[in-house]
Structure 1
C-alpha cells in the first residue's frame, strides 16, 4: 500500500510538530515554506529526514498531496490554496490533524481576547490533579505533544484561523470567551463570517459535550438564539444570576453545575479587572466539570501569575509605572487595558491596523490619556483619530525612542502603557518581540 502524502505549508511550530507526528504515523511528509524556516526548525527536519523547502512553493510537490496541513497564518485567498481546494485535496489545521491521534479529553478555548490567560489559568488549575498538556497557540505544538507526551487531557488555545480548517475536531469542553471585531481582513470585512468561524468550535459537539460562554456578550447570545448548538450550555455572567454556570454575586463567584455549588471570593483572585473575573469563571467551570476539588480551584486562582505581555507590570521608575500589554493586538484588548488604568497614562499605540474602529476607546482616552505615542510604519489613522483628543501626540518607528519620549512626558504618579491595539508585523517579528523590546528599553532608561 502506498503511503499517504502529507504536505505541510509553513515550517513553524505547528508545521514542524505536524511533520514529526505525520512521519511517525506512516505518512510521506513534505514541508514547504514561502519564507525562511528558522534554523532550529530546519535542524529538526534534517535530523528526522523529513523532506522540506523554504523561500518557495514547488507546486508539483504540493498539488500531489493526499492531505494538506496549512499554517493558520496563510489566508484562503492565496492562489496556491485555491488550486489545492480546486483539486479536492482536504486542507486541515494542525489541531484537526493531531486530534485524530489522541483519545485525550480536550478543552478548547477560543474568543477574541483572553484566550492565552484563560488557557494558561485553566491548565494551572488542572495540572494540580490531572495529567494535562497546554497547546494550540501556546508553547510546544499540539501535534508534537500528542507524539511525545500523549497527555490524558489537553487545554488548547484555538484561534479562528485554526477553526476555519477543522472537519471532525470536537472538544469535550469548549470555551467561547467573547467575540469582538478582529482579523476582519481575513473574513471579507464581514463580522458575521468571523462570528461563524468562532462558533465552529462547537459544530461537532453533542449533548454530552459542554459549551461554556459569556452570557453578557450580546454577539454570542444573539448567534446562539438563531443558531442553536447541540452542546450542554454553561454560561457565565457578571450581571445576572445563572442557574447552571457561573455568576458574580456581590464580590463572590457562584458556580453551579448539576446542583453542586462552589463559592469563591473575587478579592483573592490574583488577576485584576472585570475581564479577568470572567476568565476565572470560565477556567473554574472547566475545572469543576473535570471534578477538580473546590479547595484546589480556589488556591490556584489565588497563586496564578499573569501571562507575559498581558498588562505585565515591568518597572516603576521615578514613581512612574511601565506596563507591557504588547499582546493587545486589537481594539477590544486595549479597551480592557485602558479601562483598568487608574493613573494618568502615556499610551504607546500602533502597528498593523486590521480595519480597527477606535470609537469605543474615546471615553477612556478623554478621561485618562495625557499623551499618545504612535509606534508604527503608518500612523496616519491614529493621528487623525486621536489628534484632537490629547495635547501631545508624537510618532516614531523605534521602540527605544518611544520609551524615551514616554519617560520625558510622564511625571510622578503616571503610568506608561504599551497597548498597541494593532498587529506587530510592520516593525517587529511578533507581539512577543515587541513586548521584549519594550521591557529592554524600559530597563535601559
Structure 2
C-alpha cells in the first residue's frame, strides 16, 4: 500500500495504490475495503487467480484517487479468512497539502533552464529564480537550489547542489571526468523512487566522493553521481540547525538527463525529500521492526508513544529527534508531548513472511537449499536393540539366580 501526490496532477488529490497478492494454489475471491479514519469510503470486489508456479504468487492492483483534505489515516482491509490474517490489513497516512517554496539560484536564463522548467511543472512547488548576485542567504524557503553556482555562504533551508558545491553540500568534487554514464543507483531511496537512470549519460561530471555525513545513491564510472545527506545539529548562518542536502555531479544541459522521463520525477522527488523530514510534514510509513525517527518541536525532552495495543512507552529525547524501536506490531502509533501530537503507521510489508506455503527451495544466507525430491536410504541402527536384549538377559539371569536361593 502506498500513497503519493503526483507532481503533474491537482495538488489537492492523492493517489492510493494497493497491491494484493495470492500465494495460494487456489483462486480466491474477496472484498477490498478502504477506510479513512475508520470510516468506510470504498469497497471493490477482487478475483485473485491462483499463484503463478514460477513467481510463487499472483497479484492484482487497485488505484484510488482521494481528496487530500486535512489528512488522516487510510486503512485497507481484505475481507478474507486465511491462515495469516496479520497481512490482511495495511495502513497509510494522508498529510495535508502544503506548497513547497523553492529558490533557484542560477546564472542561466529561466526560460531555457531545464531545471527551472521542471520546477514550474510541479504543481506542489512555488519556485522563484534569482541570479548568483541576488542570493544573499535569504530566509523563507524550504529548498534552495544552486545550479552551477557554488556559494561562499548559505542561509537556512535545505539544499540541492547541481554541478556545484558549498559548505552544506554532502559531497566533495576534487576533479572532473569526461563522458560518463550512470552505472548504478539505490532504488530504495525516496529520491530514486520510480526513477530509471539506465540510459542517462553526461559529457562531463565531477569525480565526486561523499563527505562523512553523505550517502551515495547513484554512481557513474568516475565516482558518485548523486549524494544525499541528512545532517543534525550543524552550524549554518551562525545558528545550530538540522538540514538535508542533495548533490548532482554533472550539469543538466551537458547530459541527456533532461530529455528522459526520469528527469521531472527526479526533480519532484528531490524537492519533496528535501522539504520534508520524517514525521514532520510527510507521512511516516515503516516496515515492522524498523526504528521510527520522528522530529519533535524545540524544547521537547520527553514523549509518550502509544502502540496499536494501547501500551504506552515514555521516551527521552536528547536532541530534535525521538527514536522508537518497538515497532513489531502493525497499525497506527501515536507519539505525543504536552501541546503536540503526531501519528505514524507500521505495516508487515514482507513478501517472504506472507508466503507461508511449503517451498521447494529456501535460502540460507547466499546459499539456496532445495528440498529432497526422492527418498534417501539410511542404515538402521541395531545397537539400541542389542542393548535392550542384553538388559533382558541380565534381568532373566538375576531372576533365575534368586529363584535358586
TM-score (norm: length of structure 1): 0.22
The structure with the greater share of residues assigned to helix is 1
The structure with the greater share of residues assigned to strand is 2
TM-score (norm: length of structure 2): 0.23
Q: Over alpha carbons, which structure has the higher Rg?
A: 2
